[in-house]
Amino acid sequence: MNCKFMASMMCANYGNLESEVKMLEEGNIDSFHIDIMDGRYVPNFAMSLNDMSYIARATDKPLDVHLMVEHPNNTVGLFINQLRVGDTIYIHPEAEYHPSTTLQKIIDADMIPGIAINPGTSVETIYEMLRIVKRVLVMTVNPGNAGHMFMPYVDNKIEKLLELRDEMGFELIWDGACSMDKIIKYSEKGMDGFVLGTSVLFKGDRDYVATLEKLHKL
């Protein structure tokens, strides 16, 4: 399996974040996924700018920052200043009047521009942006909380995005309700990466090395 695995750090143990990062690195995690919520675009709060900055200093692995915030153009500079060349920033197109302006700021900073697509957002409404982004984060649950159930109607959207991926030149990443059976099924369909949360990685005895070794052998 030639997929990337991202650790959803909102599910990590914040009592010992340094140890969590090191254990995930030992398991050869591909990147650290950072969820930022403002309590307005989604009815919840998650990780902070300081949390993100700490992880950026603690690892050489890439960070994938998912901005679930209103008008990200107003604050994206704060995140760019704390990240590294080659890190990814996702925005929600619905959250901004002119999302291409925000994406251009990410591009100008030599970072990877991405968009996150909610379950209720159609491919048609974001079609033109697919030409300028390098990653598409397809949400299979409504954003804002961990542990939600997979929404089966997202299947058709994933099929459409997989058809467009090679033409447009983006990577397709799965986020939400990412269970082992979904990873097996959709990696075979061509999904490029998966954000791992409470369904696979952050559960039970949290043996990250063993879990990631199992995933890499699929």
Model-wide pTM > 0.85: yes
Cβ atoms of 134 and 110 within 8 Å: the answer is: no
Decide if pLDDT at 146 tops 90.
no
Above 80 in pLDDT, residue 58? yes
| Residue of 51, 64, 175, 192 with catalytic role | 175
* Predicted local confidence at residue 46, as pLDDT: 86
Tell me the CATH number for domain 4-216.
3.20.20.70
Q: pLDDT tens across 91-123, in order?
A: 999 999 999 999 999 999 999 999 999 999 999
As a whole number, mean pLDDT of residues 46-54 equals 94
pLDDT at position 172: 98
* Reported confidence tier of residue 204, pLDDT bands at 50, 70, 90: confident
Residue range 176-198: average pLDDT?
93
What is the rounded CA–CA span in Å between residue 197 and residue 15? Answer: 17
Centre a 10 Å sphere on the Cβ of residue 58 and count the other Cβ atoms it contains: 15
Q: Give φ, ψ of 211 to 5 degrees.
A: -65, -45
Asked whether the predicted pLDDT for residue 150 surpasses 80, the reply is: no
Per the annotation, the verdict on 166 as an active-site residue is no
153 pLDDT band (50/70/90 cuts)?
confident
State how far Cα 181 lies from the chain centre.
19
Q: What is the mean pLDDT of the chain?
A: 93
From 30, 35, 64, 192, active-site residue: 35
